[in-house]
Each structure stands twice: as C-alpha cells, then as structure tokens.
Chains A and B, each alone.
Chain A
C-alpha cells in the first residue's frame, strides 16, 4: 500500500482517502529528478569532486610539428545528459592566419575571439603589419585577467602563423597563457593526451599528423561522454591555415579502427558470457 498525497501532484481539491480509493488510485512510481545543468561538462554527482573538475564537455587538441600546427576538435555540446548539438564548430577562424579553439563557455569563446579578430584587423590597418601570434594571445590574456573574478569560462588555444613561424598558445579564464608544443583541453583531454604523447614526433609528415589528431580525438570521444559528434581538423602553415577535414563522424571512425584490428567493434572483445 503506497501513501498517495495528491497535493504533491498539484491537484487543487483536497482528497479524502477512502477504502475504495485504494483500488482505483494508481500507484505511480516517483519520477526521477531531472537536473538541467549548464554547459559545464560531464554530470557531476554530489556537486562534483574538485579533482575531476575538467574544463568542460569537449575535447580539443593542438600540436606543433615540422610542417606547422595541427588542430583537431570534436563537435559535441552537452547540457548534463542532454546533447544539445553534435555539430558545433569549436575551431573559430579569427582571421586568415590565426585560429582559436573553443572549450568552456561557447558564448565567451566566440565573443572574445571575435573581439580579438577585430583588434587584429585594427592593428593591421593602423600599423601596416600583421599582429604576431604572441601579441594576439597576450592581448587576449590581458582581457581575461581583467575579467578574472567575473565567472568567464574559457580554455582556448590560439594557434597561428607570423613572420617568426607557427606558434601555439594555451589561454584560460584564470589569465594563464602558456606557449607549448602539445596541448589538449576539455573533459576528454586526458584520453587524447594518452594517444598524443605516445605517438607524437616533431618530424611527422602532414598525413601522419592528421591521422594522429583524428585518432586522439576519436579515443577521447569514445571514452568521454561529453565529447563526440564529428572530428574537424585544421592545419596551420606558413601561408595561413587550411581546413583539412570538415567533419568525420566518430562513429564511422570507431568501426573503421576496429576493422583495422580485425575486430567487429561491438565492444565484446572479452566475450563475456554470463551462463
């Protein structure tokens, strides 16, 4: 016998419990509480453990190699357990020689990278020469330091080419700016780092680098629930940037890679049989 309190379901009238009602009332199971979370990454149980507080539901990566810089990103946007989009463009084309990747708040990244684009163009017109990647990333860092306690959420990479070569910077909402050769940002970054660190060589050819970028993103999307969709790949070289792949479905990649190993890809490699 389940106690049924009608006021909890918003019924206006009071309801006297009578014996015959026990036969007529439906014992409804309690509905699971649906929590809509903000665009903030994998659903966190018990408010989230500080140690697992990764920069948001995405996987983006970039690395420097002998032919320039390769950027690879996924395309999923999730709100808790709801997938709001599988086709987000997480590489933002700032101008013909600068690219930015998006992780964290989409609005923040899009707005401030557009602001940066504006600043770069103004500088170019005023000074007659293009802004260097170091200067552009430093400009963005300055803005983010100013908004430090305002709750901005951005973990972006600025990659581009200038007269001194191709450079990759990581910038986040704390105001941290780091120059480096390999970066991966987002909730799936740890999985991507595993693949990236294992196969990365500076002397890779463009094809090897593209393959590595795609594989690293695939592995991250396979294991991280907040990453998925399609892989987009960009290459930055001395003449600007090229979009190498506009969208390779990670599901297709899964079966393709499984086939390469002679597997079916149904996850049943261990052949678990319960009886």
Chain B
C-alpha cells in the first residue's frame, strides 16, 4: 500500500513517499520516512510491508557502508544499483525467500550526472527517468509520462511531484495525507514534507 514515486531531471533526482503505516484498517503512523539516505548523494525509497522494508533497508545501508570502508572508494550510482540488485537476487531462492520490498534508488554522481533506478523484489533492475512502486504506478505513470520532458529544472520537478501527490489524494482510495519528498542534487540531499 506504500506509494513511492520519483523522477530524474537535468541535474537532480526526486524520490517521494507517503508517510503512512497501516495495520488492517488502522493507520498507525503518518510520518514514517520510507526513503533511506545511503550517503550524501544517494537515496533509496523502499516500499514493502512490515519489517521487510526496515530490515532490507538496513541491510543495504550497512553493506553499502561496509564496501566503502573495505575498499576505500565510494560506489557510484550504477555500481550501487547493481549491488542492491545482487542483494535482491541472492535472496530469491534462499531459505527465507525473497526480500518482500521494492525500491527506487536515485542519486547524483560526483560529476553531477543524476540517475534513477527501479528495483524489484525479485532482482529486476531498470534505469528510468520517471517511475513509481506499488499502486502509485496506476495513478501516476500516465501523469509522469505526460508531464516529463528532458532536462527538467528542479522547480519544474517539484511542481510535477506536487501534481502527483494531488492526483493520489484525489483518486486513490486510501487516504495518504503526508508525503515526504527528498531531492538529491550535486550539493546534497534536501528533505521536505508535502
């Protein structure tokens, strides 16, 4: 039931998520941040039930840091995306089964190139310019495709995200009032709630 969506512009990437955690018909929390900060220039929005989102997120975050400490080098976005994909892939035929969560990994490399990757619980990986996870796909892909154009500026990107949020609030059966939005630029990560 989580909505995660994002888009990539000329020099930035935005990933937004809803803040709700629900248990059957109850909304337990409305301000949960589902977008993980992997480092100063990478964010990973995860969509999944219960503990999977949390535990897989932690697994990715710590292993990502471990590689940095072991090798002394920072991974760029492409390497990180492939690394996360391999974590998903290793789990699919394991004893506990696949990690039950999907993700959107976005960030900006040190040379300023932004990229956004769509990751699936079975280990699919696709580099995209705009996309979503979960039910948000049905409501937002049309809108994102329609509004997207190459070389978006940050302000245009934020406007599109606002339109997406408005669309979800209008048409999605599940009330999602608070959204947390993170933007990565060469300067770093900005967070705000909409």
- Show the binding face of A for B, using Cβ within 8 Å: 50-55, 141, 144-145, 148, 170, 172, 174-178, 180, 183, 189-190, 193
Known contacts A51-B24, A175-B50, A180-B28, then 10 further A-B pairs from the complex at CB < 8 Å, ordered by chain A residue: A52-B24, A54-B24, A55-B23, A141-B51, A176-B51, A177-B51, A178-B21, A178-B29, A180-B31, A183-B28
What are the interface flags for B12-30 relative to A under an 8 Å C-beta threshold, 1 for contact and 0 otherwise? 0000000001011110110
Interface residue SS majority, chain A:
mixed
Measured as residues with beta carbon below 8 angstroms from the partner, the interface class of chain B is 10 to 19
Please report the C-alpha to C-alpha distance between residue A211 and residue B158 in the assembled complex, in whole angstroms: 44
Which of chain B's residues have a CB closer than 8 A to the CB of A52? 24-25
Question: Which of B26, B51, B54 is close to A193, meaning CB atoms less than 8 Å apart?
Answer: B26
Report the 4 A-B pairs with minimum CB-CB distance, sorted nearest first.
A175-B51, A174-B50, A176-B50, A176-B51
Which of chain A's residues have a CB closer than 8 A to the CB of B25? 51-52, 190
Which of chain B's residues have a CB closer than 8 A to the CB of A170? 28
A189 and B29 form a contact (CB under 8 A): no
**Residue B55 at the A interface, CB < 8 A?**
yes
B26 and A145 form a contact (CB under 8 A): no
Most buried by A among B24, B26, B51, B54: B51
Which of chain B's residues have a CB closer than 8 A to the CB of A176? 21, 50-51, 54
A175 and B26 form a contact (CB under 8 A): no
A141-B51, A145-B55 in contact; A178/B24 too (CB < 8 A)? no
A190 and B28 form a contact (CB under 8 A): no
A190 and B51 form a contact (CB under 8 A): no
> Which chain A residue has the least Cβ–Cβ distance from B23?
A55
Please report the C-alpha to C-alpha distance between residue A13 and residue B51 in the assembled complex, in whole angstroms: 60
Q: Which B4-52 residues have C-beta < 8 A from chain A? A: 21, 23-26, 28-29, 31-32, 49-51
CB of B184 to closest CB in A, whole Å:
25
Please report the C-alpha to C-alpha distance between residue A172 and residue B28 in the assembled complex, in whole angstroms: 12
CB of A101 to closest CB in B, whole Å:
14
Please report the C-alpha to C-alpha distance between residue A170 and residue B21 in the assembled complex, in whole angstroms: 12
Please report the C-alpha to C-alpha distance between residue A8 and residue B133 in the assembled complex, in whole angstroms: 58
CB of B186 to closest CB in A, whole Å:
32
Please report the C-alpha to C-alpha distance between residue A53 and residue B26 in the assembled complex, in whole angstroms: 11
> Which chain A residue has the least Cβ–Cβ distance from B53?
A176
Can you list 14 pairs linking A and B with CB atoms under 8 Å apart? A50-B24, A51-B25, A52-B25, A53-B24, A141-B54, A145-B55, A174-B51, A176-B54, A177-B51, A177-B54, A178-B28, A178-B29, A178-B32, A183-B28
Please report the C-alpha to C-alpha distance between residue A50 and residue B3 in the assembled complex, in whole angstroms: 22
A145 and B23 form a contact (CB under 8 A): no
B28 and A148 form a contact (CB under 8 A): no
Which of chain A's residues have a CB closer than 8 A to the CB of B23? 55
Please report the C-alpha to C-alpha distance between residue A54 and residue B23 in the assembled complex, in whole angstroms: 8
CB of B46 to closest CB in A, whole Å:
13
Which of chain B's residues have a CB closer than 8 A to the CB of A174? 49-51
A148-B51, A174-B51, A175-B55 in contact; A180/B29 too (CB < 8 A)? yes
Please report the C-alpha to C-alpha distance between residue A54 and residue B31 in the assembled complex, in whole angstroms: 22
